[in-house]
Amino acid sequence: MLYLGIDLGTTFSVAAYVNDHGQPTLFPDFHDANEFRTPSVVHLGEEGCLVGTPVEEILEDEPGLPHARFFKLDMEAKLPVFTDSDKREWYPQALSALVLKKILKDVDAFAHEDIGGVLIAVPANFNDAQRRATKLAAQMAGISQVKLIEEPVAAATFYGVHQAGGEQTLFVYDLGGGTFDATVLQSSEDGLYALATEGSNTLGGKHIDERIVRFIVEEFQRQHGFKPDDPASQQVLRRFANEAKHTLAKPGKGRINKTLVIGGRTLEFILTKDRFHQLIDDFVDDTLAVCDKALRASGMDWSFIDTVLLTGGSSLLPLVMDKVARASGKERDQLVCKQPHQAVAYGAAILAQQAFGQASGKALQSICSYDLGIRTLGRDGQPAVKVLIEQNSAVPASATTTFYTSRDDQTRVIIEAVQKRGEGDGAEEKSLGYFAFGPIERPRKKYPLEIEMRYDLEGIVTITARDPESGRQIQQVMDEETEALDKALFEQRGWLQKMDVNV
Ligand SMILES: Nc1ncnc2c1ncn2[C@@H]1O[C@H](COP(=O)(O)OP(=O)(O)OP(=O)(O)O)[C@@H](O)[C@H]1O
Ligand SMILES: [Mg+2]
């Protein structure tokens, strides 16, 4: 039996398993045995579905080719994010499923073994909708046994393999292609315990690239008097910005000097390392502010941290390393940055063996990354959230509260469930939707209804209601928006079943 760990990334997806010698190992690409990552990019055209490197290669010659990428950042979208040449509209769940299908083909070509379970890593800061969407993507790809794990937990697990043991406090700084997670963990002989986590879906390599694109566009506008904003130009700019970033991240490279052709016009482009660092200085500071929040929530500061673990491709940027070293009071070479592109998939593979197979390992304690509660009207008549489970509580966790009907003839109670974190200006609030419970058989004013909210081990929320007088569970009625989404996704599941991913 094969147990897979998959890092379903914003920009790259990677799959790993633990080989017979106990080593986590990546699966190579079907066509290229030296390539172990699949760019998370999809093209759907007349000739079928293409995923990964072939799409990138076509885009080099045909930058206008319709394609979908970065859909992981829209994972909670209740609307489609891409229209194919047949005018079919695709949701992020289905696009992610296509990436997974491509990966499963690679696995199948390499291993010829049945898959006993798949552990998919998700950012710690993924909310309920994003986690559900990821699981659904796996199911749409035909994976029947799937569980989720947090990316920093997977990375720390991989790191633990190389560690002699002992008690220590870890900080995982995970700056990927589109997301950032900052997590404080305690590691001991027997277990790995998450203490606090904070994160952002607007801090990642994509957002760094966008800053470089903006810089080039301003220069272009100065020289040519207009902004190149057609899709083909955007694609050329995006690719170029990404290449420039990679070049400037290398030691010794102090500047880039290149002639660009965009929309039929040329641009003499110069970007020095210093200017690049100016462009992203506040971006890196923003990641450090997120780190401070995580530290504060765990009741610590940097001086408590024994080991800082850097993961995610963007953590390779020299400015990131310098600033993290300075903030954490460590030397740059004390930061642990081992295989930052693979660490999450490797850790997920190790944990997949434990989750689905016979392997034993350290105990794991995950936490929830959002407060969970119900939106109510406060005393002042303003909407407020009554928090039932606080962010950074150990999961699984559950809590109950009692609601009372307000009218004699009221047979249903409707609540809005909310995930939130932070206060004031930086507060984030995400509605999980409206949940209607009923019918109440013998309604009367002030009839009580007990609502239970629960985080499971994977950070997924369930909400149930009980009539405390009869002990009966009261059914949940689905809201219209969720019903419409379910219908659309059911249809997409049908498309996917009939569709082959060309590899
Ligand atoms: N040496 C490097 N220097 C700077 N940036 C890099 C380097 N290598 C990779 N990156 C950037 O890292 C990002 C990809 O990292 P990674 O594969 O860890 O992300 P991901 O898993 O796709 O995204 P996420 O974890 O956010 O979902 C890209 O934006 C890429 O440009
Ligand atoms: Mg990643």
Respond yes or no on whether the N-terminal peptide bond of residue 24 is cis (omega within 30° of 0): no
The pair of structure tokens assigned to 399 is 């809590």
One-letter amino acid at 425 equals D
Q: How far is CA 307 from CA 72, 173, 291, 337, in A?
A: 29, 11, 14, 11
* Spatial contact of 458 and 397, defined as CB atoms under 8 Å apart: no
Calculate how far, in angstroms, residue 324's C-alpha sits from the geometric centre of ligand 1.
17
Among 125, 238, 240, 314, the mutation site with the greatest number of ligand 1 atoms within 8 A of its Cβ is: 314
Determine the Cα–Cα distance for residues 54 and 59; give it in Å rounded to an integer.
9
DSSP code for 378? -
Calculate how far, in angstroms, residue 493's C-alpha sits from the geometric centre of ligand 2.
26
Ligand located closest to 276 CA: 1
Determine the Cα–Cα distance for residues 173 and 14; give it in Å rounded to an integer.
19
Residue 47's CB: how many other CB atoms inside 10 A? Answer: 9
Ligand located closest to 9 CA: 1
User: Shortest CA distance to 7 belongs to which of 181, 168, 163?
Assistant: 181
CA dihedral (51, 488, 133, 138) in degrees, to 10, reads -50
Among 11, 213, 277, the mutation site with the greatest number of ligand 1 atoms within 8 A of its Cβ is: 11
Pick the atom of ligand 1 nearest to 179's CA. Answer: 26
What is the phi/psi pair of residue 233, to 5°?
-65, -40
What is the residue with the minimal CA distance to atom 12 of ligand 1?
Answer: 313
Pick the atom of ligand 1 nearest to 208's CA. Answer: 29
Radius of gyration of the chain (CA): 24
Determine the Cα–Cα distance for residues 142 and 145; give it in Å rounded to an integer.
9
Determine the Cα–Cα distance for residues 395 and 178; give it in Å rounded to an integer.
26
pLDDT reported for residue 162:
60
Which three-class secondary structure state does DSSP give residue 107?
helix
User: Shortest CA distance to 368 belongs to which of 464, 460, 462, 463?
Assistant: 460
* Residues contacting residue 61 through CB under 8 Å, at least 6 positions apart: none
Q: How far is CA 366 from CA 7, 140, 178, in A?
A: 18, 26, 22
Q: Cβ < 6 Å from ligand 1: which residues?
A: 7, 9-12, 72, 176-179, 204-206, 242, 245-246, 249, 312-314, 316-317, 341
Determine the Cα–Cα distance for residues 195 and 42; give it in Å rounded to an integer.
37
Residue position matching structure tokens 């249809």 = 491
Calculate how far, in angstroms, residue 314's C-alpha sits from the geometric centre of ligand 1.
5
What is the residue with the minimal CA distance to atom 8 of ligand 1?
Answer: 313
* Residues contacting residue 442 through CB under 8 Å, at least 6 positions apart: none
Q: How far is CA 27 from CA 41, 56, 101, in A?
A: 18, 20, 14
**Which residues keep their CB under 5 angstroms from ion ligand 2?**
9, 176
Determine the Cα–Cα distance for residues 122 and 132; give it in Å rounded to an integer.
11
pLDDT reported for residue 365:
93
pLDDT by residue, tens only, the chain of 503 residues: 999 999 999 999 999 999 999 999 999 998 888 999 999 999 998 778 999 999 999 999 999 999 999 999 999 888 899 998 888 999 999 999 999 999 999 999 999 889 999 999 999 999 999 999 999 999 999 999 999 999 999 999 998 866 656 789 999 999 999 999 999 999 988 889 999 999 998 999 999 999 999 999 999 999 999 999 898 999 999 999 999 999 999 988 789 999 999 988 999 989 999 999 999 999 999 999 999 999 999 999 999 999 999 999 999 999 999 999 999 999 999 999 989 999 999 999 999 999 998 888 888 999 999 999 999 876 777 788 999 999 999 999 999 999 888 899 998 888 899 999 988 877 899 998 888 888 888 889 999 999 999 999 999 999 999 988 888 888 777 677 777 888 888 888 888 888 888 75
* Domains of the chain and CATH, by start: 1-162+339-367 (3.30.420.40), 205-279 (3.90.640.10), 371-471 (2.60.34.10)
CB burial string 269-286: b at 16+ within 10 A, e below:
bebebeebbebbeebbeb
Residue position matching structure tokens 């590691």 = 187
Determine the Cα–Cα distance for residues 461 and 431; give it in Å rounded to an integer.
12
Calculate how far, in angstroms, residue 63's C-alpha sits from the geometric centre of ligand 2.
25
Q: Is 458 exposed, middle or buried (0-12, 13-18, 19+ CB in 10 A)?
A: buried
Calculate how far, in angstroms, residue 7's C-alpha sits from the geometric centre of ligand 2.
6
* Beta-strand runs (E) in 60-187: 68-69, 82-83, 89-90, 115-122, 146-150, 168-175, 180-187
Calculate how far, in angstroms, residue 290's C-alpha sits from the geometric centre of ligand 2.
17
Ligand located closest to 125 CA: 1
What is the residue with the minimal CA distance to atom 10 of ligand 1?
Answer: 313
Calculate how far, in angstroms, residue 2's C-alpha sits from the geometric centre of ligand 1.
27
What is the residue with the minimal CA distance to atom 9 of ligand 1?
Answer: 313
Determine the Cα–Cα distance for residues 142 and 494; give it in Å rounded to an integer.
11
Alpha helices per DSSP H over 162-269: 205-224, 231-249
Calculate how far, in angstroms, residue 38's C-alpha sits from the geometric centre of ligand 2.
12
pLDDT reported for residue 57:
94
pLDDT reported for residue 351:
96
CA dihedral (116, 104, 39, 31) in degrees, to 10, reads 130
* Spatial contact of 146 and 103, defined as CB atoms under 8 Å apart: no
Determine the Cα–Cα distance for residues 320 and 288; give it in Å rounded to an integer.
9
Calculate how far, in angstroms, residue 70's C-alpha sits from the geometric centre of ligand 2.
12
Respond yes or no on whether the N-terminal peptide bond of residue 396 is cis (omega within 30° of 0): yes
The pair of structure tokens assigned to 443 is 């309604």
Among 8, 10, 38, 338, the mutation site with the greatest number of ligand 1 atoms within 8 A of its Cβ is: 10
Residue position matching structure tokens 């006993």 = 116
Measured in whole angstroms, the distance separating CA 481 from the mean position of its chain's CA atoms is 23
* Spatial contact of 152 and 183, defined as CB atoms under 8 Å apart: yes
Which three-class secondary structure state does DSSP give residue 360?
coil
CA dihedral (485, 488, 493, 499) in degrees, to 10, reads -140
Beta partners for 409?
none
* Residues contacting residue 202 through CB under 8 Å, at least 6 positions apart: none
* Spatial contact of 99 and 51, defined as CB atoms under 8 Å apart: yes
Q: How many CA atoms lie within 13 A of 436 on its CB side?
A: 11
